[in-house]
Each structure stands twice: as structure tokens, then as C-alpha cells.
Amino acid sequence: MTKVSMKVNGKPVSGEIEGRTLLVSFLRDTLGLTGTHVGCDTSQCGACVVHVDGKAVKSCTMFAAEAEGCEVTTIEGMANADGSLSTIQQAFQDHHGLQCGFCTPGMVMSAAALLAETPKPTEAEVRHYLEGNICRCTGYHNIVKAILAASGQDVGDIGGDAIAAE
Ligand code: FES
Ligand code: FES
């Protein structure tokens, strides 16, 4: 067992873990932050995306020990300080960017990382960025729309049934 310490959603946390413990397991099982989902465990679906030092990371592909001393943000840390939904979360709600919602935490975390890097992405850039996030409900169209809306762009002209992650 080894001790790991990091900041999660702005709060210092630590725990005793096995060296093989994945970051997603530490977040879900040790800290109880179950908003980060496990859809595949093989680095394909993106349901487990969190931010580590501001970068989007699939937390099933990283050992918890590798996040020692890092700043981690999960979906639980995405709401505004007063508990209201963040702009991206609100856009997902407004534009029906979810169906079952299983992929949604990872989609929101990836979207936030994209908008931090590229505040006004094109539709093509959004679709390309979501390549690592799979929505088993195939709700990509409204997810893309929500992300474009969250970036402050007019989504009135976005149409069709194109599917991301091509
Ligand atoms: S659970 Fe991590 S990519 Fe699917
Ligand atoms: S909304 Fe169901 S997996 Fe995406």
C-alpha cells in the first residue's frame, strides 16, 4: 500500500492505495465521487474523462499514484460555486445533449477542456475533439450543438444527423 495525495475539486485529499489502483477507482471507490463513470475500462469510451492539471485525461488509463500532487477536477467540480449548473452543463440541458446520461460526465469534461483550448471551435473541431468519447445512445448531434452553444455561437443553423467520432 502506498499513500497518495492530490487536490480534487479544489480540496486536498489523500488515501492509502495499492500501486495498481487506477485514478478512476480512487475517485469512485475511495473518494465516493461516482459521477466519473466507467464504460469500458479499456481506454475507448471516454466516460471516465477528468481533468488533471487542466488537461482532459481518461482516468481509467492513469494510475492514481501518477496524480500525486496534481489538481484533479471531476464532474462534481463543474457546477458554479452557488450550486447552479455551469454554462456547459446548462447548454447540455437546454439542447438535449444527453439521453441516458451515462457518457455525459465525460462529454462535459472533454467539452470543458476543448473550450479552454479553443473558445470558439467549429462544428468540425468539436466533432474531432469528441473522437475519444463514445455515446452509446448515439446522441452526438445534440451534444455537438450543446458545446457550440456553450461557446456562445448561434446553433440555429446546425442541422442534419451527422455522427461524431467518425
Ligand atoms: S472507462 Fe475509461 S475510456 Fe472507457
Ligand atoms: S446519452 Fe447515453 S451514452 Fe450518451
Q: Model confidence over 29-39: pLDDT tens digits?
A: 999 999 999 99
Q: How many residues does the chain have?
A: 166
CATH of the domain at 15: 3.10.20.30
Instruction: Spell out the alpha helix ranges (H) of 10-84.
Output: 23-25
- CB of 60 shorter than 6 A to ligand 1: yes
- Domain-terminating residue out of 41, 56, 77: 77
Residue 48 CA to ligand 1 center (angstroms) comes to 5
Q: Which of 45, 103, 133, 138 to mutate to test the pocket of ligand 2 (most atoms within 8 A of CB)?
A: 103
Residues 6+ apart with CB under 8 A from 26: 4, 15, 17, 64, 67
Mean pLDDT of the chain: 94
Which residue shows C-alpha cell 474523462?
49
In a domain, 39, yes or no: yes
pLDDT band at 166 (very low <50, low <70, confident <90, very high): very low
Smallest-distance ligand from the CA of 143? 2
Residue 49 CA to ligand 1 center (angstroms) comes to 7
